[in-house]
Chain A
Amino acid sequence: MATTYRRKPTKAELRRQQMEQVVMYPLDWLEERSGLVGGVRYFLFRNVPSDINWMQTLGSAALTAFLVQAITGVILAMYYVPSAATDPATGRPVAWESIVNITDNLTLGWLVRGMHRWGASVFIILMFLHMGRVFLFGAYKYPRELNWIVGVLILVMGMMEGFTGYLLPWDQTAYWATVVGINLNGTAPFLGPWLAQFLRGGQEISGATLTRFYSLHMLVIPGAIIGLIVLHLYLVIRLGVTSPPWSKEAAGLEPEEEESPQLRPGLTRPVPRPAGASPMQAEPGGRE
């Protein structure tokens, strides 16, 4: 690196140079071997329409609510015991006692449990608001229909989280709400009674119901939600962010793409993008 200076660099400039090297060296090392730095830049520093709206942050808010649920859930799982057995010392179910222990005895346990409990409602409400925004902005239309469908699946999975999580405190409310909820499933034609018996883990609600709801609540459904969220975000990045319906910006193809539409294999026509929404697009002036 033969950098020539017209004058000798000052001490401040030298220090700045050193600091940059300290920061950039590991990043360059990582980028050269994995391309991850570029990937993160691609993900976070996308171009979006210039007239986007605060309403369009509702999806990120719902994602944040899910992350809060995931983190608080992991911590709660360290102390919760999904056992319907009776504690011989107190005569109360072990699962219920472990919830009492989390709430009353553990440091800040009441806060973490409260975050998980109320955050569940926040997550569902934010998903509904996000869905309303997408509907009212017409952001579900071509080519984003699939992303709407994936979003609906995430909403359904979120509700299943609510249903399975409601049983875990193992009190009277939990028990009877689950009795009614499972029997509602049991009224579905043909396979309904079988679905109900699968959910109960037998003819009646028992300790087997509690353990399988716990497994569904903390392993199966969250895993499915994470996979669906990845797919949801991938489609957002691929298709770009929509302009609001009152946007004055012309939606459609970028000028460059109109000249030589590069079709991906399997596509018969170019995918229209809203103006300024194509990811990692260079500045208009920089193209020439």
Chain B
Amino acid sequence: MEPEQPSPDTEQESLHEEAHLPPPTLWPIGFAIGIVVVLVGLIIDPLLISSIGAVIAIVFGFLWARDATAELRSEPAAVEPERRDLTRADEGQTVPPPVEPTTVTRSVFLEGTTLGLGAAIGMVITVPVAGFALLPSFLGQDQHKVDLGPVSAFPLGQWYVATFIVNPSEGEVSKRAAFIRNNGTVADPKTKQPVPSFSIISNRCTHLGCPTQANGPSGQKFTGKPTIREHTVNGPVELLPVIPAGYGCPCHGSQFDTEGNRTAGPAVRALDRYGFEIDHGRLILLSTYSVSHVVGTGGQAQIYKYKQASPGNHVDGPEQWLYPIQPPHN
């Protein structure tokens, strides 16, 4: 055995592979630039800059793909092929090169039309079906106002755990809870008129959406205030008086202070809050919004508001770049 001797097979194989190295090309660089513009655009201006980036990426990607597959599609190479007349070894006579058909043959045409028509039919069926499967989750999301009863039921400075049904037609599954405190009135920053102020904190944990609980005693025995049970247009509403030292999540141990700021655990931001309005002396909950953090307490608190984001998603800091576009929310 002579192991040093290279086998003719490997030699041939390496030659074979060398011949198939694609020529160097600049298209991938343009494609990469397009992708970078898309990503930058997602942060700055998703509609305009990302669209420009997408166009760049698609154009260069197409050119790149065309270049890379030129050989497979047997397009004429950049070098003009040799057109020498072939010489027959046995006769020594020249014969003309074989004539390649310049027109599309019947079978190729039929093949192309069958595939094209099949693709068109498939598209006509798939697009509406896929749209039906996807779009209803995102379009027409109704806002549900929740009537929590007369404002006079909320004594100044007292926290309540409010339990209510958001959408009576959905029933129990839309049951939610919020921590509510009446902050009295504060001066509107624009009109300088006194307006009512409520802190209404959603109990859904901003880690993965489990229900946080108030850390502290509740009920008449400890708070001196009765539990209020009313029936509004939203169905039964329960207001349980509570003295919270903060809120804690039973699932993975996140802790929040009374203003909803995260103090410990895996949650990524402060607790979400409900918007509200006062209508004919009744407290009406509007849709929720996300909060990165809160400075101060009560009516003087400065709340850093963001569009409602999914639990576990950062709304500020560099991590927010991972969640550039949230689905529509009411």
Q: Which residue numbers of A lie inside 8 Å of B, CB to CB?
A: 84-86, 93, 175-176, 179-180, 182-184, 186-187, 189-190, 192-194, 196-198, 200-208
Contact = CB atoms under 8 A, between A and B. Distances in A.
B5 interface: no
B194 interface: no
Interface string B161-172: 000001100111
Contact of B313 (A85, A86, A187, A203): A187
Contact of B173 (A184, A189, A205): A205
Interface of B: 134, 136-138, 141, 166-167, 170-174, 208-211, 251, 309-313, 322-324, 326-327, 329-330
B170 A84 contact: yes
Contacts of A182: 209
Given A180-B251, A183-B310, A193-B309, A93 B209 contact: no
Given A197-B138, A205-B173, 7 more contacts: A84-B173, A86-B172, A180-B208, A183-B310, A189-B322, A193-B313, A197-B137
A274 to B, nearest CB: 23
A196 B323 CA distance: 13
Nearest to B250: A176
B137 A204 contact: no
Contacts of B136: 201-202, 208
Contacts of B309: 193
B173 A175 contact: yes
B210 A93 contact: no
B311 A183 contact: yes
B137 A202 contact: yes
Contacts of A201: 136-137
A86 B312 contact: no
Contacts of A84: 170-171, 173
B312 A186 contact: yes
B120 to A, nearest CB: 25
B313 A194 contact: no
B209 A180 contact: yes
A204 to B, nearest CB: 7
A179 B208 contact: yes
